[in-house]
Homo-oligomer: A and B are copies of this chain.
């Protein structure tokens, strides 16, 4: 195989240190191209920009082209990269390194994951990488594990429509206890909606909260990360609840050709 083309993106924006650490590490295993949002787009979920034009600006560092900044979401960045910037489809998209874990319900809010999901929808191998802390981040171990997983992903047949969601604990590499395949936790947030008054006496609210991981099983991403292991969760974009589909059959919802609603 010729040198793999690796697209690096994120949701913290093209100036984020986590993206830089990821791009540097990936240069050891392939040709790296960076296309990322021009500013922070955290908690954007899987948003795409339909109502505004998308701008693309070249970003230079030390006189050399560093990457392309897109005036849109992480998912927009992947679309624009593949359709308008890269000379061929990338062999792998790696999104991150996110400042903060993407585990449990966080996954569905995550711009980092959504960029990888967009790649998966386009049929491209995709990895999302997050570091499990919001403070004093050291991206060394996360960048090393991302490169290790990227090599595995490039050399194996990849399950179609799947994103590998990699979460690395915020501890020195020598203290990381190992790697586990996990499932997405379901623990919700202990949410806060704080009510405040602005300088004109008008009410506004701030959203915040903390993830409650204690309700998750030991095989979940959150608990695994919390006990010092690297967590890898395969995610898909088929959100169908197959167990619920079976359960709903018993509600008697289905009906045949033009049977009126009243008879159902």
Contacts and interface: CB of A to CB of B under 8 A. Distances in A.
Contacts of A247: 159, 234
Interface stretch (A21-29, A87-95, A180-188): A180-188
B50 A80 contact: no
Interface in A225-243: 232-243
B122 A188 contact: yes
A89 to B, nearest CB: 13
B208 A177 contact: no
Interface string A67-106: 0000001011001100110000000000000000000010
A206 B79 CA distance: 11
A179 interface: yes
A45 B42 contact: no
A238 B240 CA distance: 9
How many copies the complex holds: the figure is 2
Given A184-B238, A184-B239, A248 B261 contact: no
B48 A45 contact: yes
A40 B46 contact: no
Contacts of A42: 50-51
A257 B43 contact: no
Interface in A117-162: 117, 121-122, 144-145, 148-149, 152, 156, 159, 161-162
A232 B203 contact: no
A183 B238 CA distance: 8
Q: 7 closest A-B pairs (Cβ-Cβ)?
A: A45-B46, A45-B45, A234-B244, A236-B241, A53-B204, A159-B244, A83-B193
Interface of A: 40, 42-51, 53-56, 73, 75-76, 79-80, 83-84, 105, 107-109, 114, 117, 121-122, 144-145, 148-149, 152, 156, 159, 161-162, 164, 173-181, 183-184, 186, 188, 191, 193, 195-196, 198, 202-208, 232-245, 247-249, 251, 253-259, 261, 264
7 contacts: A45-B114, A177-B256, A183-B240, A184-B238, A186-B237, A232-B248, A234-B245
